[in-house]
Amino acid sequence: MATKTNFELSEEVMIKHPKKYKVYLLNDDYTSMDFVVDILISIFHKSYEEAETIMLEIHKKDRGLCGVYSYEIAETKVMQVTRKAKDSGFPLKATMEEE
Ligand code: TYC
């Protein structure tokens, strides 16, 4: 079998190990706790109990992990949070970072 070029090897790595992105919600003083729980249920598909735990973690530690996704899905989640928060008059923010 012919030896694979570095390019072929790196393509193979990219296909088998696509980068993943962590999405976090950030704490602030104005967004209501109920709204954050609702975001975690509706956008991040958490149960009510999980959502409450994550919301309280953010409230105490300033940010909380909501999920790990491909780049496109993570970007969409961040946009959905920003839009829903803006529409409801809350300053809630989400961020994403490479895992
Ligand atoms: N700190 C907010 C309050 O006391 C609640 C809150 C929790 C806001 C999590 C944002 O991502 C957040 N009302």
Q: How far apart are CA 66 and CA 79, in angstroms?
A: 14
Cα distances (Å, whole numbers) of residue 47 to 27, 44, 71, 78: 20, 9, 24, 19
How confident is the model at residue 13, as a pLDDT? 85
Assess if residue 8 is contained within a domain.
no
pLDDT for position 16: 87
- Tokens (6 digits) for 6: 């570095």
**Considering the domain boundaries, does residue 1 fall inside one?**
no
**Beta strands across the sheet bearing 63-69:** 63-69, 21-26, 94-98
Range of lowest pLDDT (5-9, 50-54, 76-80, 81-85)? 5-9
Asked whether residue 11 is domain-assigned, the answer is no
Could you tell me the CATH number of the domain that includes residue 61?
A: 3.30.1390.10
For residue 42, the one-letter residue type is S
- pTM across the whole model: 0.89
Centre of ligand 1 to C-alpha 33, Å, is: 5
Neighbours of 22 (CB within 10 A): 15
| C-alpha 99 – ligand 1 centre gap (Å) | 24
